[in-house]
Amino acid sequence: MEGFLVTAATGALKAVLVKLAAMAGEFEGDTRSNGFPRRRARRHARLLLRMSDSDEGDADPQDKAWMKEVRELSYDIEDSLDELTHHIGDESANPDGFIDKCKNLLTKTMARHRIPKMIGEFKAQIKEVGERNARYRNGGISLMRTANATVDQRALTIFQDVSSLVGIDQPKKELIDLLMKDDGHVASVHLGVISIVGIGGLGKTTIANLIFEELKEQFDCSAFVSVSRNPDISGILRIIFSVKLAPNLMPTLNQGTYNNSLEKSLLPLRTKESWKIIRCAFSRSITGSRIITTTRINEVAESCCFPHVHRRIFGLEECPSHLTEVCCNILAKCDGLPLATIAISGLLATKAPTEYQWNQVEKSIGYALERNEDVNGMIRILSLSYFDLPHNLRTCLLYLCTFPEDYIIHKKRLVRRWIAEGFIHEEHGHTLYELGQRCFNELINRSLIEPRYIGKFGEVKSCRVHDTILDFIRSKCIEENFVTLLGVPNVPIDRQNKVRRLSLLVNTEEYNSSLEENNRKYILDKKEDDSNEQEDNSNGFNILKKMNLCNARLLTIFPHSVKIPSLLQFRRLRVLDFEGCEQLENHHLANIENLLLLKYLSIKDTIVNVLPTQITRLRYLQTLNVDVRGAINIPTHIYLLRRLTYLLVDMRSQLPAKIGNMQALQELKVVNVLAQSLNTQQGLGKLTNLRKLSVFMPGHHADAAERYKGHMKAMISSICKLGRDNLHCLTIHISSVSADDFIQESWCPPPLSLQELVINQAPIFRVPRWIGALVNLQRLGLYLKELSQEDVSTLGGLPALLSLILYVEEVITEEGGRLRISSSHGFPSLERIRIGGESCRLELTFEVGCLPKLQQLNLECLVAEENHTSSSNVVFGIEHLSRLTSIYCCIHYKYETRLTKVAMLAALERSINSHPNQPTFTKEEYGDFVCEPC
């Protein structure tokens, strides 16, 4: 728990501990009185963590109830502390005028006098919860069931009849081919390792066991071993060696003996730390041995495989012919999970073979699974991946259910919301965003979220959650009252629970189609005056009116959702997300100043054009995204938001002259150079903590040349100042060639702190000379009118450059010459390069010693010559790229150059086929011609 302020397991207990400690300095009273609730809360937090590590099938209902009660209490206490802290005020609150100062002093004094009473109330509440827990536990005896009380569901699938398994024949064949072949040779004498990676329940263990049973007779000895989360390594090694050595020698063998004795085995494993030790027992020179590992984590798979080869295995069976569409939809939810497919088949067998019945199963698949005994196993298997996560990652994963099904979730939006919620805690040497990005990548690596859009430099920009995973985390969120979801069919609402996070997800089309049926069901099923009744929440319009929303920390509303509620109902919000909300209008932001604790506000992609001036009272605001569809005013006094870290505006917006006072800013986009005053641009240079800046440099009219020149010089001066501090990422959008004059100037001093630089939208004539001084630059993207040999030399000398994108219109070389990349300026660190363009005649030569670390080569060029004999080679020297793993080539051609295109691709393929690494080759062809009519 240490380090994370808010988690799904402990609620806000950590935050309460931190804030109570801070309050001790505000209250000069009995320190023991203040310390008592902190000690109690700390004990409760430790107990909550231990209890939450038990999966849902092992937890006693009374324990669950107590855990929920503690979490809810922690949220209430933190809300009270935050509101009190706000009234006490801080140094950022500087009222003007004598009367305002007197009012402020009176408010602070009254708030301070409330502290002793509040602490006394906290103490009584925490004590009562602790005593109730003691009574539940019957004098200290835990009611939690032991972890050994249930059978691992994966073990049951190992012994399942093969005839009942679906979609495994082809994956099994591919795996056997991978396992038994090495460099194309069957039964290689080298040690072979493959790893199957994917989420829990994917069928990894099942298919590994089938391969094991099929191949084990070909080996002198074999072992199939499961490794738990807390494995006994010595015991595991004993099992492995017992298949070869005399059992009576086992107690005397030490690890060195194990290492010298092992010869051949087939070994499925599941965890990284275990493999680090066990792999020492396997020498790469062991003759003909084969190993299979199974894991849920990408980096574990890669660490297991000596050649770092692993595959994700999915299976999919054909759907019933008489219910094709709905069956395909159900199988899509299962996404090839063998256990899920079998479980759902068993469920459907109990239903009438009608489209209505099967559609009901599809819509409520996650919740039907929980209620149906035959498929509880799948939920338990999904739990394995969930409970294998650290507590902070569980919380980050659960939070994804605030987004609709099949929704593309942008990483930046998600991470900033995690930060605002307190899920990400500071760590020395890293920003909160960097730490949040690490959590995002870890969920990707563990196959719990699916990467969607991959950015230009190879980073994952967005993700989605598979339906089955989403159903699972929704059920966990409802159980723990972590999120309240409104507008999702068959997801119940318990109005006895306080609303902590509210997500309005209803879709207009689905809502309208099911409204009449749901209303009828609601009327028939509802018991009058029964406050314990859980309601189907499809009828979001009615239910929202009945909710007490004052405790909600999150409100997110998606397009086509229910009517937007008044912000007066939400006084404890931390996150307010209206991104893409089509029904949002200016008046919906009225009373926003009452959201005293707000940290995240987004109205991105809405039609709002007026930002209330009262927003400047939100002193805790960290993220403000007002990149709307049209122009929007930015309040002059926005610089009073001293905690604002991320400011995202439309390029037509005008920023305040005193922007230099916003010292907490780490990201600012997009700054239109001509839309800002000179004072604003000069103030930008004072933002010493700014790490990411996006600038738009528009063109100009002749009558505004002097003004344009002054603004450009001021902006470049500020960028150079920022480049001495923390500016890591700079994006410059150029709308016309007129801005290129300033890009080509001598930037002095050059922004040496830059790690990423992108100049795009309109081409610049050549590579600016000052770029050659950026010794820390790792990622570079340029849109060039011309690329010369001198430019290549400039870029090739960048010592830290890892990824390079050069979109080029024309290559300039000596007559009949080629663009050469030599060892003297040969990109010593570059791993990925993309070069060329649809109008570019590209001919490259890679000399010996250049690009020693290049892995990915991406080429785009135009075939302009009809002489296919002289122009058959677009690239020479591919064999000199010793670490090359993949090549992509995009070729544009005309009808008259089609033969040249064929010769060029043939020559390129021959060169690739002769490369010792056998890199993968992908090509695309675009012909620009019209076929003549017959």
CA distance 648 to 654: 12
pLDDT level of residue 726 (50, 70, 90 thresholds): very high
For 89, residues 6+ apart whose C-beta sits below 8 A from its C-beta are 104, 107, 108
CA distance 500 to 554: 7
Least confident piece of the model among 79-88, 265-274, 293-302, 412-421: 265-274
Mean of the pLDDT values across residues 7-19?
Answer: 73
Q: Is the pLDDT of residue 827 over 90?
A: yes
Least confident piece of the model among 81-95, 510-524, 682-696, 761-775: 510-524
322 or 296: which leads in pLDDT: 296
Are 620 and 595 in contact by the 8 Å Cβ rule? The answer is no
CA distance 783 to 575: 38
Mean of the pLDDT values across residues 902-931?
Answer: 84
CA neighbor of 335 nearest in space, from 350, 360, 317: 317
Task: Find the distance separating the first CA and the last CA of the chain, reported in whole Å.
Answer: 74
Q: pLDDT tens, 48-65?
A: 556 555 554 456 667 777
Share of the chain above pLDDT 90, in %: 31
Average pLDDT score, the chain: 76
Are 397 and 12 in contact by the 8 Å Cβ rule? The answer is no
For strand 462-464 and strand 692-697, is the pairing parallel, antiparallel, or unpaired?
A: unpaired
Within 526-552, residue ranges assigned H as helices are 540-546
Q: pLDDT tens, 435-453?
A: 999 999 988 887 788 899 9
Extract the tokens encoding 811: 């290559």
Q: pLDDT tens, 138-170?
A: 544 444 433 334 444 454 455 455 555 666 777
pLDDT of residue 646: 97
Share of the chain above pLDDT 70, in %: 64
pLDDT of residue 92: 43
Q: pLDDT tens, 748-805?
A: 899 999 999 999 988 999 999 999 999 999 999 999 999 999 999 999 999 999 999 9
Least confident piece of the model among 2-16, 155-169, 632-646, 721-735: 155-169
- Which residue in the block uniquely carries the two structure tokens 């294998």? 388
CA atoms within 13 A on the CB side of 196: 28
Q: Is the pLDDT of residue 472 over 70?
A: yes
pLDDT of residue 341: 64
pLDDT of residue 169: 77
335 or 755: which leads in pLDDT: 755
pLDDT level of residue 428 (50, 70, 90 thresholds): confident
Q: Residue 888 phi/psi, 5° resolution?
A: -120, 135
Mean of the pLDDT values across residues 878-886?
Answer: 91
Q: Is the pLDDT of residue 103 over 60?
A: no
CA distance 105 to 924: 70
Helices (H) and strands (E) in the chain, counts: 27, 30
362 or 930: which leads in pLDDT: 362
164-178, 359-373, 530-544, 672-686, range with greatest mean pLDDT: 672-686
Radius of gyration of the chain (CA): 31
CA distance 85 to 50: 31
Q: Taking the C-alpha atoms of 624, 598, 395 and 460 in order, what is their torsion angle to the nearest 10 degrees?
A: 0
338 or 222: which leads in pLDDT: 222
511 or 703: which leads in pLDDT: 703
720 or 495: which leads in pLDDT: 720
Task: State how far Cα 179 lies from the chain centre.
Answer: 32
Are 462 and 437 in contact by the 8 Å Cβ rule? The answer is no
pLDDT of residue 150: 47
Q: Is the pLDDT of residue 461 over 60?
A: yes
For strand 181-182 and strand 185-186, is the pairing parallel, antiparallel, or unpaired?
A: antiparallel
